[in-house]
Every structure is written in C-alpha cells, then in structure tokens.
Amino acid sequence: MTLDTSYLEYPWRQRGMDHEHYPYSIMHQRTPIVWPDAKRLLIWPVVSLEYFPMVPADLPFRAPGHMQTAYPDYRHYTAREYGTRIGIFRLLGAFEKVGTKVSVATNSAIAERYPELICEIMAAGHEIVAHSTDMNGAIASGMEEADERALILSSLDILEKACGIRPRGWLSIARSQSFNTAKILTELGAEYMCDWVNDELPYTFQTKAGAITNIPLNHELSDRQIINVQQQSVDSYAQQMLDAADWLLGETKSHGGRMLPMHLTPYIMGLPYRISAFENLIAQLAAQQDIGFARGEEILDSWQTQQ
C-alpha cells in the first residue's frame, strides 16, 4: 500500500517538543535541588495497592497483573489478594523497621472493601496516592471524556472519604493516560501525577485547565519490570537499586539533589522468599547518611518551594 503524501509532512517539526505540555529541559543543567535535612538522595517508595475484579472489563485494556485463565480465574484472583492480605504488611513492616513513611498508590475499591487497611496506613503516616477505582479502571484514548472524569472523580472522592483528606497525587493504571487525563486531574484538584517517566526530578506539566506537577515514577526500576517482566531475582533487583543509588549519589556531588523512585507491588515483593532481601536493601540504603526516604507529597512540597 503506497503512503499518502501527508506521511512526509511533519506539522510539529519545530524547536522543542511536539506538544505543549512542557518545554525541553536538560536535567543536568538545572538549578540544583536541595532536599530537607541535608539529604542528597531521596528514595521514594510507592507501593501499589490493587484490587483485581475476577471479571476483567478489558476497557480500554486489561491491566498488567490481571486475570489470565478462563473464568473463574481463582489462581490470579487470589494470588493478587495475597498482596492486600499479607504482602502489604510485609512491605509496611520493612519500612517500619527503618522508620520511614511511604506513598501507597491505592485503588479506591481497597478503601471500600478493606477500610481497616486504609486506616492503618493513614495512622502510620503514609500517604495515599489515588490509583483509579480498581484494576478495571484503566484509561486510554478512546474513552469518553465524561466517563474518564467520572472514573477519576469517583476514585478521588472515595479515597478522600476513607482517608479524611483528598489524595494529592495520582497514578494511572499502567501509567496509561488519554490526551485528557492530565487536564481532568488538574480540574479535579490533583496536585501531582506519576505517569510520565521522562525525567528524574519533578517538573511542571501544562494542561488546558492549568498546571500539574509530574513526579516521574521510573517504571524500569519497578519490581514488576525487573522481577515479573524481566524475570530477574530479588537479589539482582536489590543490586540494581544499590547501583542506581550509588550512581545518583555521585551525581549529587556536582548537580544537587536527586531522587530514586522505588515502585513496589505487594504480591510481587511481599513474598516470603523475597522480603528478607528487600529488608536488607532498605536497611543498606537507610544506613547511608546522605540518603533519605520521602513520600511523594514531601518531594512535591520541597521541589515547589525551590521553583
């Protein structure tokens, strides 16, 4: 099939990006960031709390980790539930041991189904980041804007009711957005999103409804990517996080504060044979004076005061 002549036309071929959401910026040339308490590297743990309905909606796509067999897929339904019954407490325990507070990206269905879990997370001083409704709450272009707005609003409202405060942050399922998502989040008062992985520091993302901050949650450094997708061991995962922390600490000597996102999944990292290696990793990181841990909202607040 011959291509239409328009295939060799490039309407966005111009200086800068091919969209209006953010200008081009070189991270290594920015004004150095200074984190609180003289920490040079902030680790940002984000634990995803997910509820997978046993009937996948597949609209607009099936979330990673969702059901795989013919109905009833007890195998995957219950293995994911293991994360919200057991795995999450192993992860929270690992963080308690070093006295750190984390972000928990939570499906609002968790708040409806397991309110005692939300109470415990909030009482411990962790942050709830809104993570859609349940794992059927995926977003992509093709959705009606009104449906997408209703989905996001429902997640924020339910979590606000359960937590007593409105979540300040948003993580989309599979970090998947439509062209409307950032605008809707801004309209609904979300202060930051975690979906765009193009940077290693927060940056301002413009929408037709105003600005929102994107705090990049590196997908490559997630337990899902390293352990589930790339099939590497938890020891290799730990080595990779330590190598990343070493490298970033090195950059802080000449370039100011850095952050290292650590995206975790309770049913992946919270297994008995993996959690000890993870606890060792956290302990090794926490033992370094230049390294701190932070919730997303702390990173947001610190970064915003320096802009």
Partner 1 sequence: MSEQQQSDPGLYDYLSYRNRPKITWPGGKTCAVWVAPNLEFYELDPAVNPHRKSWPKPHPDVVGYSHRDHANRVSHWRMAEMMTKHGFPGSVSLSVALCDHIPEVVQDANQRGWEFFSHGIYNTRYSYGMDEAQERAIIEDSIATVERATGQRIRGWLAPALTHTPRTLGLIAEYGLDYTCDLYHDDQPTDIRVKSGELTAIPYSLEVNDHYGFFIYNMSPREYADTLIRQYDRLADEGDKSGTVMCIPLHSYLIGQPHRIGPFEAVLEHIAGDGRAWITKAGDIVDSFREQMA
Q: Which residues bind partner 1 (CB under 8 A)?
A: 1-3, 6-10, 12-19, 24-28, 60-61, 140-142, 172, 174-179, 195-200, 216, 218-221, 226, 229-232, 236, 239-241, 243-248, 260
d(CA 168, CA 180): 18
Nearest-5° Cα angle at 213, 302 to 129: 85
How many Cβ atoms are within 10 Å of 123's Cβ, its own excluded?
8
Rounded to a whole number of angstroms, the minimum distance from the CB of residue 87 to partner 1 is 23
Shortest approach of partner 1 to residue 165 CB, angstroms? 27
Q: Whole-number minimum distance, CB 278 to partner 1, in Å?
A: 16
Residue 23, preceding peptide bond in cis (omega within 30° of 0): no
* 96/220 with CB nearer partner 1: 220
Which residue, 37, 43, 27, is CA-closest to 249?
43
Q: Are 207 and 178 in contact (CB under 8 A)?
A: no
Q: Which is nearer to partner 1, 154 or 239 (CB)?
A: 239
Q: Which is nearer to partner 1, 81 or 240 (CB)?
A: 240
Cβ nearer to partner 1, comparing 84 with 181:
181
Q: Minimum distance from CB of 190 to partner 1 (Å)?
A: 16
Min. distance of Cβ 268 from partner 1 in angstroms?
Answer: 16
CB of 95 to partner 1, least distance (A): 21
In this structure, which long-range contacts are made by residues 160-164, counting pairs with CB atoms below 8 Å and at least 24 apart in sequence?
161/111, 162/108, 162/111, 162/112, 162/115, 162/118, 163/111, 163/118, 163/122, 163/128, 164/122
CA-based radius of gyration for the chain: 20
Cβ proximity to partner 1, 18 vs 116, nearer residue? 18
- Of 195, 260, 174, 276, which Cα lies nearest the Cα of 221? 260
CB nearer to partner 1: give 61 or 89. 61
